[in-house]
Amino acid sequence: MALLIIIFSLVAATIICLVSKNVRSMVLASTAAFGISAASASLIADKVARHGDYAPFRFVQINSLTAIVLLLIMIVGFFSAIYAYPYLAEEANKKIIGRTRTKQLFILLNVFMLLLVMAVTASYPILSWVFLESTTLAGAFLISFYNKPSTIEAAWKYLIINSVGLLLAFFGTLLFITNLPGSVSNGFVTWSILGSFAPHFNTVITKVAFIFILIGYGTKVGLAPMHTWKPDAYSKAPAPIGAVFSGALMPVALVIILKFRVITDVAVGTSFSQHLLIAFGLLSVIVAALSFITVVNYKRMLGYSSIEQAGLITLGFGFGGIGRYAAILQIIYHSLIKSSLFFTSGNFLLKFHSSKIKVVRGALSALPISAGLFLVGLLAVAGLPPFGIFISEIMTISSGLKHYIAYALVAMVFIVIAFIGLFKQASSLTLGEKPKDIKAGEGSRWLLFPPLAILGLALVLGFYMPPFLHTLIRQAVVSQ
């Protein structure tokens, strides 16, 4: 019932946005839909924590990790909807967009989030692929929202690279299905069916299939070397959409990889997937860390930060042991903190009219609250205490030092390089004197509430984890 409420709420909000001519009605409908959906996702998470996997319908299967990600999707969607209206209103006042564009963004936002919900909860691997592939088209329209040559170029880059990646993921899915006996593979194949037949899979086919899956869905995650679309897309999309890409899309693609990883481990043993995850994770951390030093655009910087975080999460799952616990924590903390960073980066863009780091100076003087939140968020995502990412990174490295000392030491070096790069860029943005033509002062308080609330939530979760969420994390670790 709770999942139906989520689906019907988002569908109803989309229909209202389509037929209504009143912008406030669209905004209220969308925000209410995400609020109701977040409450429903909390109920589902609590149900899974108490009773185990939740499968109310034939086409739906929600395990512990899925329940966590579903809740994150709704939380990020809720705050993105709240932030989007005042943000777009400011852009309309500055003649950056027409007022009718708000309608288009909310329609696409609702559809995009609905597709993510369907992808992560689907009990059929093929349906997960279909829904995630559908987000590619919706995402392309969101990236090209401003209809400028640079945004259209970024949208095409996103569309082509992700389509190719998901085509490989489709091949991988089909290879997994070909392992099944003919009588089973002729019908719709569920995750449970794949898992039950996994001990009898052909090891060579399974290894090839998982490589396709990791490269294909890893493109959506933004793992290096399939990451090249990410900095462009994040820098050109509206700020609330950057939050959705980083805080909601990335975890969904990761969950699908991990579902296939469990099946692969049963079929061929754990070492094969572990080494692949470590290799892609470490490469992602290295690429991102080196990019921080030379990046010239603060929204691109957030894109590279998401690549680094994706790498660290993948490393955690690859190292195993306590690293899996750390990786799940990192998924939660990163989704919340990075969403806050995209919201505050939107405030920077409204004030300074540029996303270039060299143009933004003295942000603490011009936007004391936004810049303060941005600085705290950037230090938090870089792994500084008291935020939870500090603990999760220590746990990840500790796990690696037990069995993969060389990889863990290399990761440590580049985590430090990444921190130095982020601190350097953060100092350039926030310190110094603001340009004389920039007036000091914040915009609407509704541009401050979402980043403040979601960053505060991340801080609270670093000290106190609700019992149901703690149970879900422990259950997810065991299942991985």
pLDDT in tens, 26-42: 999 999 999 999 999 99
- Is residue 206 within 8 A of residue 156, CB to CB? The reply is no
Can you give the three-state secondary structure of the chain, one letter per residue? CHHHHHHHHHHHHHHHHHHCCCHHHHHHHHHHHHHHHHHHHHHHHHHHHHHCCECCCCCECECHHHHHHHHHHHHHHHHHHHHHHHHHHHHHHCCCCCCCHHHHHHHHHHHHHHHHHHHHHECCHHHHHHHHHHHHHHHHHHHCCCCCHHHHHHHHHHHHHHHHHHHHHHHHHHHHHHCCCHHHHCCCCCHHHHHHHHHHCCHHHHHHHHHHHHHHHHHHHCCCCCCCHHHHHHHHCCHHHHHHHHHHHHHHHHHHHHHHHHHHHHHHCHHHHHHHHHHHHHHHHHHHHHHHHHCCEHHHHHHHHHHHHHHHHHHHHHHCCHHHHHHHHHHHHHHHHHHHHHHHHHHHHHHHCCCECCCCCCHHHHCHHHHHHHHHHHHHHCCCCCCHHHHHHHHHHHHHHHHCHHHHHHHHHHHHHHHHHHHHHHHHHHCCCCCCCCCCCCCCHHHCHHHHHHHHHHHHHHHCCCHHHHHHHHHHHHHC
Distance (Å, rounded) from C-alpha 118 to C-alpha 14?
A: 15
| CA nearest neighbour of 282 among 308, 306, 321, 246 | 308
**What pLDDT score does 187 carry?**
63
Per-residue pLDDT band for 15 (boundaries 50, 70, 90) equals: very high
**What pLDDT score does 428 carry?**
87
**What pLDDT score does 186 carry?**
59
Of the ranges 218-222, 342-346, 409-413, 427-431, which one carries the lowest mean pLDDT score?
427-431
Distance of CA 335 to CAs 75, 283, 326, 389, 393, Å? 9, 21, 14, 11, 15
Q: Is the pLDDT of residue 439 over 90?
A: no
pLDDT (tens digit per residue) in 39-67: 999 999 999 999 989 888 889 999 999 99
**What pLDDT score does 22 carry?**
86
Per-residue pLDDT band for 444 (boundaries 50, 70, 90) equals: confident
| CA nearest neighbour of 37 among 109, 103, 102 | 109
Per-residue pLDDT band for 183 (boundaries 50, 70, 90) equals: low
Please give the mean pLDDT across all residues of the chain.
93
**What pLDDT score does 99 carry?**
67
Q: Is the pLDDT of residue 234 over 60?
A: yes
**What pLDDT score does 440 carry?**
76
Distance of CA 34 to CAs 10, 27, 73, 340, 453, Å? 7, 11, 9, 17, 16
Q: What is the pTM of this model?
A: 0.95
Q: Is the pLDDT of residue 185 over 60?
A: no
* Amino acid found at 115: L
In the chain, where the domains are located: 2-479
Question: 281 or 439: which carries more pLDDT confidence?
Answer: 281
**What pLDDT score does 57 carry?**
85
Distance (Å, rounded) from C-alpha 437 to C-alpha 429?
A: 16
Q: Is the pLDDT of residue 473 over 80?
A: yes
**What pLDDT score does 85 carry?**
93
Q: What is the mean pLDDT of residues 258-271?
A: 96
**What pLDDT score does 431 carry?**
83
